[in-house]
A and B are shown apart, each in its own frame.
Chain A
């Protein structure tokens, strides 16, 4: 089937009912995007992030970034949050701390609302770090168990967690 606008092959088919009248629309992906009925399908990560960062819709990221804190620079690499918004890449590992809640919001948008590492820890990392990641993991499992109403498992996890947190003190 051909696109109604440009004669390319149509991949998006819409059926609408207006006043009992059935109206069919056939569009190619590009024309569908132009008309706002479909979203661009292959957005490279960086582009997505830049769009996210520069979004002007007054969302959470933007409200925070309008704050004076945006001009606050990382003491180690001198990058400001505004620089990061423009460039899309961070300047040094310390930026993750220096940009605080602003970077946290970016991470959550890019990482499907996750904000805590779960997984491999360098062997050379301090014991305290290893314990913390283990605690993160248990906490996540506990939240899941509660959500799924598996209370027996939750109790078990809670005890483990308490023990670890005690040790980490």
Chain B
């Protein structure tokens, strides 16, 4: 695979389709697994790490996923390619920075991917557009079964699937939904959401940008407890109790904004669009922030001549590694800001 095979398009899970897509960008489930009979990564000999790498690579490539599958040698990949995979949520920053034989397997649609020798021997993930956690679970559990036919995982009857960090032990499951909550943010209710989520043992992080800071009103909500609840209990808690409630709050806040503060709302949306259409240089952070406002404008039908797919596309294509791979050159910060503004103007003026 060449990075440019994927860098010109957005990931399928980000195409704006799927149930409740006006608030829920995507749903993701990942499972952490380790091979029985080997140490975890920190105490693994080079030789064993190579053996695990080879065995898991072979096993996962042999799965019949019904689509093209790529293997990427992360240890040998150029830094910019690794950055691209991070931007597309296919590997973690930890995986990019790790050492020794390690790899990633990626299905062409990017709905399935696996990391070999990250913090655990194996982490597989399934991402779907919109709120579709049950579909994610059906798929990932089936892949997990198929892998298990060929590999024995470390498992204890007391603690379940054994992982390098006790925060993942048990089911090894991390369930996340990526949410766009601009109206809750605008009406200063986002802290309420964060506090409620934390009270219920959920983690809230940003979706884009460095570290965990939420840029552009995108939030990723995920479970912290992995032991003592079954996978279905965790998933149902998410998709039937918590997420629908957050969606309702966000939609209510949007309705109220239109009813009571339409002038403020339109000002914000149109200013964002104005800057995006005319800026000659724009930072990644500013672009995310403004695109978030435009996305809200499109979803609320305050902007009618720009399709949501164009907005979604711009989120991803203007990230630093995407910009550089698509332009075919290494760019410094100014160069990136210039290129980013150019791409945004190009896409928005077409409409």
Contact = CB atoms under 8 A, between A and B. Distances in A.
Interface stretch (B34-42, B104-112, B267-275): B34-42
B68 interface: no
Nearest to A53: B166
Given A89-B164, A111-B227, A117-B228, A77 B152 contact: no
- Of B39, B166, B229, most buried by chain A (CB within 10 Å of CB) is B166
Contacts of B145: 123
A140 B40 contact: no
A115 interface: yes
Contacts of B155: 121-122, 125, 129
Contacts of A89: 40-42, 119, 164-165
Interface in A131-157: 132-133, 136-137, 140
Contacts of B205: 42
Give the dominant DSSP class at B's interface.
loop
A91 B171 contact: no
Interface in B80-125: 119
- Of A106, A118, A121, A128, most buried by chain B (CB within 10 Å of CB) is A118
B43 interface: yes
Nearest to B153: A122
Given A91-B42, A117-B171, A122 B164 contact: no
Interface in B142-177: 144-145, 148-149, 152-162, 164-167, 169-171, 173
B141 interface: yes
B40 A92 contact: yes
Contact of A41 (B164, B173, B198): B198
Interface in B39-70: 39-43
A90 interface: yes
A111 B166 CA distance: 8
Contacts of A140: 228
B261 to A, nearest CB: 19
Given A41-B194, A93-B34, A111-B228, A133 B157 contact: yes
Contacts of A96: 156, 158-159, 162, 169
Given A91-B40, A92-B39, A103-B166, A117 B141 contact: no
Contacts of B158: 96, 115-117
B191 interface: yes
B331 interface: no
Interface stretch (A14-22, A44-52, A63-71, A158-166): A44-52
Interface in A103-117: 103, 106-107, 110-112, 114-117
A124 B39 contact: no
Contacts of A41: 194, 198
Contact of A76 (B39, B173, B224, B229): B39
A121 B170 CA distance: 10
Interface of B: 34, 36, 38-43, 119, 141, 144-145, 148-149, 152-162, 164-167, 169-171, 173, 191, 194, 198, 201, 203-205, 212, 224-233
19 contacts: A45-B167, A49-B166, A77-B39, A77-B40, A79-B43, A87-B42, A88-B165, A89-B40, A92-B39, A93-B40, A96-B169, A103-B166, A110-B167, A111-B170, A111-B227, A117-B227, A118-B230, A119-B229, A123-B148
